[in-house]
Amino acid sequence: MNTKAPIIQQHELLPNCNNNCGFCYNPERCWKQTFTPRKEDENLNLKITELSISKGIMASCLTGGEPTLVPKHLLNLLQIYKNVGCYKSINSNGRLIDKSLAKKLKDVDLNSALISIHGVGQLHNYMVGDNNAFIETKNGIANLMEAGIHVVPNFVATAKNIHGLEDVGIMLLKMGLNFMTVTPFLPSWATPEHEQYIMQTENYRKYFEVISKIGKLGMKIDSTLPIPPCVLIKFFPDNWVDYLEVLSPRVCMAGKSFGVISPDGMFRSCIQAPYFETYGGNVVDEYEKSWKRSNKWADLKLLPKECLECKALSVCGGGCRTSCLWENNGSPFGKTMYMDKPLSETEAQYFIKRTEVKIESKNGPYAWQPQIKMRDEGWGIIIFNSNNQSFCLLASEFRKYLKTESLDIQDKHTTEVLLSFGAINKTDKISNITVIPNEIKSLPANIIFPRLADGLTNDIVRELRSDTGERLRF
């Protein structure tokens, strides 16, 4: 099944940036021989924002380039999203976020800020190509924290800076942060200069070892990219079980639960992939057709036979199709950069087990929570919690119960799925309780994403994290 629109949408407001990272993923910045950076078109961005809201997106991440280069425009768009109750985030290097801008971002209810930091001191400056960058980024993080905005520092791990990851983790802990993302570098297939940043075996081992070490100091660590389970076994064949906790149960749902819009208004399935007409199109002229083409990025036929044979495919999804471009000369078909051999049934169970969510059962009746957003897809209902970016899929018969005040859901698993991410909670309103029959249930993940959930029983609630932050419960 296709989704009508992204749940969360990344919107690149402009291609320009005040950093000059040699490992930048943005096609307009790293494909210098192909692209001439365009100026921001504020009227187009406004049109895209209003159109996206009308199509039912539930969360938006405004990015670039560097979105704070156009602060007034950024704040105007965030205000529009605030008015309709969308989850709002930015992806920024933080350098231009002074106390005044941080306060203004708080005033428009910015939910979170992903801030790039790739080393401490001169290492960060070297990585981003500017001698003033580190202190400005560090100050930007502090200003956001002081304003009460949730900050997620993001370290892109490459062969050139992986040795500095531990110092970054320790510095952030001293600043009062206990959560960050550490993302393995993903090269662009059309940029030969990226090869020098690709992590080799010793770099990858350092990556996992340091994540484990700073994790024990109290830092919770995630990745913004899906890392297949086979990667862990490949680099730690004798003791991979010791590193299970550092591998996020994260999958790619590009083209299904999220999409990307370029500064020129073109849909892309993945923010790190270039524009492909086969997997996108013009948002303003043909939104539905463009998004439907983006959905193809999730097709099962893109996977190699090794993935199809793997017993962990139900919770892995076959890795990152953008990573596949480097290995296959620009094609999303086939193996990814770091994948290894298929997992056995025994090996896969370690990773499948990690997706389980423990739920403390409560007696009903229940009520929908006020922060919940709902979208009817025709084939089913998407329920989204704007507080934690978690969602689930419900049978289409639920549509007549979406405005019911008191619910008694007969299917135990569906009740637990909804409880698991705060979509419902126990209510004291015991009059006019609507009973939802046992046969009306939540839907499995593979109803929209054919690479997930096959063969998994529905007696356990599971969580998979998308590579843009959503949590899919099923």
Coil vs helix vs strand at 465: strand
Same domain, 163 and 267: yes
We report the CATH number of the domain holding residue 57 as 3.20.20.70
Q: State the pLDDT at residue 37.
A: 46
Task: From 249, 264, 297, give the residue that closes a domain.
Answer: 297
Is the residue at 100 inside a domain? yes
Three-state SS letters, 360-381 = CCCCCCEEECCCEEEEECCCEE
Same domain, 287 and 370: no
Alpha-helical runs (H) found in 217-319: 229-235, 287-294, 305-309, 313-316
What range does the domain containing 391 cover? 366-473
Is the residue at 309 inside a domain? no
Rounded Cα–Cα distance for residues 128 and 95 (Å): 12
Same domain, 284 and 374: no
Q: What angle do CA 246, 250, 255 make, to 5 degrees?
A: 155
Backbone angles phi, psi at 150, to 5 degrees: -65, 120
Write out pLDDT tens, residues 140-151. Answer: 999 999 999 999
Write out pLDDT tens, residues 340-362. Answer: 999 999 999 999 999 999 988 77
Dihedral sign (CA 353, 357, 363, 369): negative
Same domain, 62 and 170: yes
**Mean pLDDT estimate for the chain:** 92
Write out pLDDT tens, residues 59-110. Answer: 999 998 899 999 999 999 999 999 999 999 999 999 999 999 999 999 999 9
Mean pLDDT confidence for 122-136: 98
Same domain, 401 and 254: no
Q: State the pLDDT at residue 384.
A: 96
Least reliable range by pLDDT among 27-36, 262-271, 325-334, 397-406: 27-36
Q: State the pLDDT at residue 422.
A: 95
Domain total for the chain?
A: 2
Is the residue at 353 inside a domain? no
